[in-house]
Amino acid sequence: MPDAILDDISHRRYNPLRGSWVLVSPHRNKRPWQGQEEAASENTLPRHDPSCYLCPGNKRAQGDVNPDYKTTFVFVNDYSAVKEAQKDYKPLDQHGSRFSLFHAEAVKGRCYVVTFSPSHNLTLADLSPLEITHVIDTWTALYTAHLSPLSSLAKLASPTTLPLSSPQASPFRPKQQYRYMQIFENKGAAMGCSNPHPHGQIWITTSLPEEPALELEQMQNYHRKHGGTHLLGDYAALELQQPQERLVCSNSSFIAVCPWWATWPFETLVIPLARLRALPEFSEEQRADFADIMSDITRRYDNLFETRFPYSMGLHQAPLEGSEAEIEASYFHVHFYPPLLRSSTVRKFLVGYEMLAEPQRDITPEQAARRLRDCGGEVYRKRLEEG
């Protein structure tokens, strides 16, 4: 447990999941703020917006019309960041040459959009755990549909695909084997989200992206050095010891903490208590508990400053295709990276020192967890509507 003095002095904390450091400066939180302020999020939105390209029955940018879906809806992004069909690229072998500094590799893939609900005015914080379960089932179906048949996880996964009733079902059969699937959500204009309709994205690539690659390397190193135990499993066990200063909420299957090494002011990490490598391994109880803790943490975020709290959220799990060592060392977890610092309009910026030296934060993770613990219960919007 950290010494009390760390609440008052600048210090560095080590992030074993990335092998990096973060500078903590708790005294800076007292400084006056005269910088940029974000516009407060709009609390009143229509249930259906005729101009929204994600609402049921509406036309999207490329002219396709959304079906009258009732739970989730998946389609290939009309403006995907990676393409499945493109020209092959094989760089010349320039080993030992100065020109090897100009290294590039081709990346193929798919980008999906997943709506969380047909209702334009709801977010994960507004959805019930049962409704969030539909989202988790959709994530699981897509992961399973793209999972390598050679992976040890394929033996545990049921041969699930998207519902055959979906008019977009056929495009989700992969044309080749992909390496990694990144499931994520950008919520709020402060995180670059241009549409408030509740939705996330799934990018699937032939490459292993840098962030999960860093984590996977660290988890493999830890697994080898500590007799086969798992970094995040050991970390979760430590966080459950008293006084549980960074614990935000928990249930029988998951905990949510402001991690010791957090960079963002109210950053949280969701970790399963029993080791899970990927979504297909979840039992019915674990899937229900995962939906419950996702509902809990997102409500706490919204309640903190009584706003639709912006964040980037992402799932990290075993690669779709990988070595046995990679699959064995994998440990499912969820990152929430929210930018707000002092209020619904004052955000944290990673600039200057953070870009040129190392990340820095003001409020300590222990202080952040204390504030989030006090924000439980139903989402504030319901109280306002009832009042």
**Is 90 exceeded by the pLDDT of residue 1?**
no
Q: Are 172 and 348 in contact (CB under 8 A)?
A: no
- Both tokens of 180, joined, read 């990694």
Average pLDDT over residues 41-66: 90
As annotated, the active-site residues are 199
**Is 90 exceeded by the pLDDT of residue 232?**
yes
Higher pLDDT, 156 or 203: 203
Rounded to the nearest 10°, the torsion over CA 239, 245, 246, 248 is: 100
Q: What is the pLDDT of residue 340?
A: 86
**Is 90 exceeded by the pLDDT of residue 238?**
yes
Rg (the chain; Cα; Å): 21
Higher pLDDT, 104 or 330: 330
The CB density around residue 185, as the number of other CB atoms within 10 Å, is 23
- Integer Cα distance of 36 and 189 in angstroms: 15
Rounded to the nearest integer, the mean pLDDT of the chain is 89
Would the pTM count as exceeding 0.95?
no
Which of 160-169, 194-203, 267-276, 365-374 is predicted least confidently? 160-169
Q: Are 108 and 83 in contact (CB under 8 A)?
A: yes
Task: Give per-residue pLDDT as tens, 21-52.
Answer: 999 998 876 554 444 444 445 568 999 999 99
- Both tokens of 42, joined, read 């709009």
**Could you tell me which of 197, 200, 64, 194 has the C-alpha nearest to residue 118?**
197
Task: Give per-residue pLDDT as tens, 80-101.
Answer: 999 998 999 987 776 666 667 8
326 φ, ψ to 5°?
A: -65, -45
